Amino acid sequence: MNIYETDQLLAEYLLFHYGEDNDILPWPGGPADALHYPVRCVTECFDVKSLPPKARALDLGCAVGRSTFELARHCAEVIGIDYSQRFITAATQLRDQRELPYLRRDEGDLSTPSVARISADIDCHRVHFERGDALDLRADLGTFDAILMANLIDRLNDPRRLLERLPSLVNPGGQVVIASPYTWMRDFTPRENWLGGFEQDGQRRPTRDALQSTLEPHFTLLKTSNQPLLIREHVRKYQWSVAETTTWRRH
């Protein structure tokens, strides 16, 4: 079974995206700078002030949608696409009802009732969610002024195919943000399709090099940053990662 369709992963991601700080990280001295990752992917990685008044945005690999809603603060239309039907169903319910109950896991079979909520100042009418494959996007998707791909490329079978399609999806002057911890795993991506994380001809090949060689004919690299993120599995166990983010502008 796809792990992204399970109750456990759905609850973990709802907490990751919408949980209160103390619910995610109740421990003093914990990595508090890793909170709010889905929000930071928008506020710290895009130049939101330069987006056009009626900007269209695409959140590709949107999971349960927090970044999608955050993009709606700055864009007139936002489409969130994810491969997981469970995630898309949850995100759509949040859009329609502005809240969604779930159980956050504490220890073993013990859990605490929680509610994911959408801020009242977000216009949910600007947001649409749909299930889709990042490597097989529908042809009539249109073009965008902002595209976010957070924690996506290292979960695709052939990430270079998506990178090669990006120029046709982005308006001139539009921005693309790619955020990833570059956790290349054969379970998701065949070794021959990794963008980086290996040696070739005696040279180390980091993922950034492949991003630049593939994107630079059509995009200019505006900035990079390191964005920590924290996913709580239960109250005493966490995944702490650091994503590298690259922000690109279409020529």
Give the percent of the chain with pLDDT over 90: 98
Region 159-169 average pLDDT:
98
Domain count of the fold of the chain:
1
Q: Is the pLDDT of residue 73 over 70?
A: yes
Helix, strand or coil, per DSSP, at residue 186 = coil
Residue 1: predicted pLDDT: 65
19: nearest Cα among 121, 116, 112: 116
Amino acid in position 82: D
H-type alpha helices, 19-106: 21-24, 37-43, 66-71, 85-97
Residue 190: predicted pLDDT: 98
Task: Report how far residue 168's alpha carbon sits from residue 250's, in angstroms, rounded to the nearest whole number.
Answer: 10
Confidence label for 133 from pLDDT (cuts 50, 70 and 90):
very high
**237: CB partners within 8 A, 6+ apart:** none
209: nearest Cα among 246, 249, 250: 246
184 within some domain: yes
Task: Report how far residue 11's alpha carbon sits from residue 246's, in angstroms, rounded to the nearest whole number.
Answer: 28
Residues 225-249 as b or e (16 or more Cβ within 10 Å = b): eebbbbbbeebeebeebebbbbbbb
Confidence label for 39 from pLDDT (cuts 50, 70 and 90):
very high
Amino acid in position 110: L
Q: Please check whether residue 181 is in contact with residue 244, taking contact to mean a CB–CB distance below 8 angstroms.
A: yes
Considering the entire predicted model, what is its pTM?
Answer: 0.98
139 within some domain: yes
Task: Report how far residue 178's alpha carbon sits from residue 76's, in angstroms, rounded to the nearest whole number.
Answer: 21
228 within some domain: yes
Q: Name the residue range of residue 164's domain.
A: 3-246
205 within some domain: yes
58 within some domain: yes
16 within some domain: yes
Q: pLDDT by residue (tens digit) across 75-94?
A: 999 999 999 999 999 999 99
251 within some domain: no
Calculate ∠ Cα 226-31-27, nearest 5°.
Answer: 165
Give the percent of the chain with pLDDT over 70: 100
8: nearest Cα among 109, 88, 138: 109
Cβ contacts of 207-213, under 8 Å, gap ≥ 24:
207/153, 207/180, 207/182, 207/244, 208/244, 208/246, 210/160, 211/163, 211/178, 211/246
Q: Helices 207-215 & 159-169, crossing angle to 10 degrees?
A: 40
Q: Please check whether residue 40 is in contact with residue 122, taking contact to mean a CB–CB distance below 8 angstroms.
A: no
Residue 3: predicted pLDDT: 85
- CATH number, residue 229: 3.40.50.150
Q: Is the pLDDT of residue 2 over 90?
A: no
